A and B are shown apart, each in its own frame.
Chain A
Amino acid sequence: MGTLLTEPVAPGTAPLRGTRGRRPLRRDGRAGWLFLAPTLIVLGLFMVLPILMALWVSVSDWTGNGSPFSSRVNSVGGDNYAALLTEPGLTRQNFATSVRNNGYFVLFVVPLQTAFALFLALVLHQKKLKGRQFFRTAFYFPTVTSSVAISVVFLFLFSSTGTVNAALKLFGVDGPSWFADPRGIFHLALGDPANPPSALVGHGFLGLSWWDWLSGPSVAMCSIIVLVVWTSTGGFMLMFYAALQNLPPSVDEAALIDGATAWQRFWRVTLPQLRPTLFLVLTLGLIGTWQVFDQVYVLSRGNPANTTLTPAYLSYSSSFIGHQWGQGAAIAFLLFVVIVAFTLVQRWALRERR
């Protein structure tokens, strides 16, 4: 995770390098490498090597029996990637479905959790707020609780006769059977037409029609979205809260003297100062949401109708259940590419404009 963030540059690094001579640098370098060696070995053994092995598996026909480097394992080139991206069939369709589902998941979760986290942090930051300690703990509590335990609680809340539907009934709304409803909410907003426009159904991308791409998250996925927003907001709130505490009050006071309204002060003064934290929260949010797995594993395993299938879960099920290890590894690497791409786009969008 951390490797994708901009590394903080230690102050004073650049001038030091300039003043030093070449020979002492080399001697220091040798000692440095010696001290680094244990870390390098550990990282190599437990990070670089497994990643390289997975990369090999993703272009091989390994069946999960014995070593992937044995002589019986052959390279299949880009076949595993081709099955996911270019060859028509169930594999490509499932992959596209998982990307669509996760795309909507990211689209809803990241803005929601960031906005809620910022809102809660601002509330906590109010000087007048009493019992701040209590609220800080209360808001953070879901984040420290095991995601599996929370998922099980949500299973009860969102069961078709559960608390959520009971509450909806008070308002005369007949709640859906949340985890069994595969209908996309955008389709539902359109009245779930029986005959969708043929221009959208007839054409598509990656084996999924445009109509399917535009379905929106399913009702089942929405309950997972609610769950994840609820659990992750607390952690991000803490980051915003820490950043807010560190802002110099004088800037805010200066704006106040200049006659800025509360809204202007937030929008023009506080928020720009929070940019580094915002970047951190969005990046962590993007990475975390593209990797969503535990909740899917516990709650739905991709059901109903594959609408909660995510690439991370598909990678797991292809490998461990379907014995298609190459394909599972290929999905993992494609997911990696997607995450890097999204992070770069986000970094570009939030760059400091001069």
Chain B
Amino acid sequence: MLPRRTVAAFAAAGLLLPLSACGSGFDDSARPATQQAGPATLKVMIAASGGAELKAMQDAAAAWSSAGGGSKAEVVSANDLPQQLSQGFAAGSPPDVFAVDATKFEGYAAEMLPYGDALSYKDDIYPTLRKTFTRDGKLYCAPKDFSTLALAINTDDWTAAGLTDNDVPKTWDQLKTVAQKLTTGGRTGLVFNDTRDRIGAFLVQAGGWAVDADQKKATADTPQNLQALTYVRDLLASGTAKYPKQIGAGDSSEAFGQHKASLSIDGNWLVGGMKKDYPNVKYRVVALPAGPAGPGTLSFTQCWGIAAKSKFQEQAKQLVDSFMQPQQQLAFAEAFGVIPSRQSVRAQYEQKFPAQSAFVAGADHAHGPVTLGKMDPVLTDFDAQLQQLPGADPKRILQQLQQNTAAALGQ
């Protein structure tokens, strides 16, 4: 027999269980949220890259709030966006508007209002970004902005090694040659981060990718991907390329800024970071060299999600519209260095920020990330394997990726 106090404790817990289950926090989320018209107070959650981004967003929200209509918007920056969003959804009180990273998009889609197809400026958004946030033929949300990868060159090292404009690498072979020439005793030629978010660009340039266009089939174990990984492995094995941690840097931007490497494959956040932290380093940015299948780069993007549970969806749409206005997009670009997601402001943007032109040019052949949430552990495992290059066998890495992807996609 159980001791009496144990029985009593369980009885108390048993009493509490149904009581709290009837409480307001446990409503059945199958019901659509009742919409409320009129002035609203919208909660907006982003993962700000820094103070500049948060301030720009808050300014934009304040401008919208004072523009009439009586609604207000409060922008907060999450310390850990996936975690805080998850908490919000689980508790049934998510923020009305939130930034959704493309790599996590599918995981949130069920909790988002698919409003994208009704946008008047839908066709103005870069096709690659639209494609990223489309699921079952529906555009779920308005792509906020984006970034792409390009090659940053330290111009002092470049001239010191006797290289000229004609040597700017256009192919993989040329990249290898210049990286070799730039590798000196204390400095590495080329640096890039040890994840799919950099090395994936080589896969794209070789004509491969982890999954097919519809993200329904695993396409990891292909000759194209093998060619790309073998090339990367050889770069690393020869010592002309290194991962940032091998040369004592947190990431490739830091390695490049601290002059531990002369070339870096990086996104356009590099421009702002260099200006802020390493203003004396002279550099230029060129497009990534093309692979056997042509030019290729990766795009990183977020969109403005609207919670399906929000009571103020109309007001939220208006807020997003105000964020997506061309002038507002340019203001954001100026504040924290992202590229506007609308093509109509491209010319203006390039004129204003000539240093970013190589990144913008990448938009034409950029590949979006895998957006399936269930692929997250698979790709994390892929990263883990990539970190072991050059010691690992590319063929085995791809076989493992193929197997895991197939399992995750339920093939």
A residues with a Cβ closer than 8 A to B are 33, 40-41, 43-45, 48-49, 52, 63-67, 69-72, 89-91, 94, 159-162, 177, 179-180, 182, 302-306, 318-324
B243 proximal to A (CB < 8 A): yes
B351 at the interface (CB under 8 A from A): no
Sample of 13 more A-B contacts, CB < 8 Å, known A67-B27, A69-B26, A303-B383: A44-B13, A65-B111, A90-B378, A94-B381, A177-B248, A180-B243, A303-B384, A305-B385, A305-B387, A321-B82, A321-B83, A322-B373, A323-B86
Tier of interface size on chain B: 35 or more
Contacts of A319 in B (CB 8 A): 86
Q: Complex formed: what's the CA distance from A324 to B82 in Å?
A: 13
Q: List A contacts of B381 (CB < 8 A).
A: 90, 94, 306
Q: How far is the CA of A264 from the CA of B209 in the complex (A)?
A: 68
**Distance in angstroms between the alpha carbons of A180 and B388 in the assembled complex:** 9
The reply to whether B16 and A41 form a contact with Cβ atoms under 8 Å apart is yes
Question: What are 20 A-to-B residue pairs whose CB atoms are below 8 Å?
Answer: A40-B9, A41-B12, A48-B16, A52-B13, A64-B89, A67-B25, A71-B30, A94-B377, A160-B245, A177-B248, A180-B194, A180-B243, A302-B380, A304-B194, A318-B377, A319-B86, A320-B80, A321-B82, A322-B373, A324-B374
Are the CB atoms of B111 and A89 closer together than 8 Å?
Answer: no
Cross-interface CB contact of B387 among A40, A52, A72, A304, cutoff 8 Å: A304
Say how far A295's CB is from chain B's closest CB, in angstroms. Answer: 16
Q: Is the beta-carbon distance between B248 and A160 smaller than 8 angstroms?
A: yes
A to B contact number (C-beta, < 8 Å): 123
Q: Is the CB of B90 within 8 A of A65?
A: yes
Whether A90 touches B404, Cβ cut-off 8 Å, given contacts A66-B27, A177-B245, is: yes
Q: Pick the contact of A323 from B28, B107, B243, B384 — CB < 8 Å?
A: B107
Main secondary structure of the interface of B (DSSP, over half): helix
Given A90-B377, A320-B82, A322-B374, CB of A40 within 8 Å of CB of B12: yes
Q: How far is the CB of A182 from chain B (nearest CB, A)?
A: 6
- Is there a chain A Cβ closer than 8 Å to B20's Cβ? yes
Q: Which of B26, B86, B384 contacts A306 (CB 8 A)?
A: B384
Nearest to B15 among chain A residues (CB) is A44
The answer to whether A303 touches B387, judged by C-beta atoms less than 8 angstroms apart, is yes
Answer whether residue B120 sits at the interface, using C-beta atoms and an 8 A cutoff. no
Interface of A is mostly: loop
User: If A89-B404, A321-B82, A322-B377 touch, does A182 touch B245 (CB 8 Å cutoff)?
Assistant: no
Does B246 sit at the interface, judged by CB under 8 A? yes
| CB neighbours of A66 from chain B (8 A) | 27-30, 89-90, 92
**Distance between B133 CB and nearest chain A CB, rounded to angstroms:** 17
* Residues of B362-399 contacting chain A, CB below 8 A: 373-374, 376-378, 380-381, 383-385, 387-388
* A88 nearest in chain B by CB position: B407
Q: How far is the CA of A162 from the CA of B245 in the complex (A)?
A: 12
Residues of A contacting B80 in the complex (Cβ-Cβ under 8 angstroms): 320
- What distance in Å separates the Cβ of B407 from its nearest Cβ neighbour in chain A? 5
Q: Which residues of B contact A179 (CB under 8 A)?
A: 245
Bound together, the chains give a CA A36 to CA B305 distance in angstroms of 47
For the complex, is B8 an interface residue (Cβ under 8 Å from A)? Answer: yes
B47 part of interface (Cβ distance < 8 Å): no
A63 to B92: give the CA distance in the assembly, Å: 12
B160 partner residues in chain A, CB cutoff 8 A: none
Residues from chain B with a CB closer than 8 A to the CB of A94 are 377, 381
Contact A159 to B248, CB < 8 A, known contacts A91-B377, A180-B387? yes
Is B408's beta carbon under 8 Å from chain A? yes
Q: Which residues of B contact A302 (CB under 8 A)?
A: 380
Alpha-carbon gap, A301 to B390, bound state (A) = 22
Residues of chain B in range 263-307 having any CB-CB distance to chain A below 8 Å = none
Q: Nearest CB to that of A304 among chain B residues?
A: B387
Query: Residue B110 at the A interface, CB < 8 A?
Result: yes
Residues from chain A with Cβ under 8 Å of B90 in the complex = 64-66
Given A65-B90, A322-B377: A49 in contact with B243 (beta carbons within 8 A): no
Contact partner of A70 among B29, B86, B89, CB < 8 A?
B29
Q: Which residues of A are found within 8 Å of B388, using beta-carbon distances? A: 182, 304-305
Which chain A residue has the least Cβ–Cβ distance from B92? A66
A223: min CB distance to chain B, Å = 12
Q: Nearest Cβ in chain A — how far from B199, in angstroms?
A: 14
Instruction: Give bound CA distance, A72 to B110, whole Å.
Output: 13
Chain A residues within 8 Å of B245, by CB: 160, 177, 179-180, 304
Q: Is the CB of A70 within 8 A of B107?
A: no
CB A28 to nearest CB in B, in angstroms, measures 13
Do residues A69 and B21 form an inter-chain contact, with CB atoms below 8 A? yes
In the assembled complex, B247 has its CB within 8 A of some CB on chain A: yes
Which single residue of chain A is at the shortest CB-CB distance from B20? A49
Contacts of A160 in B (CB 8 A): 245-248
- A182 — which chain B residues lie within 8 A by C-beta? 384, 387-388
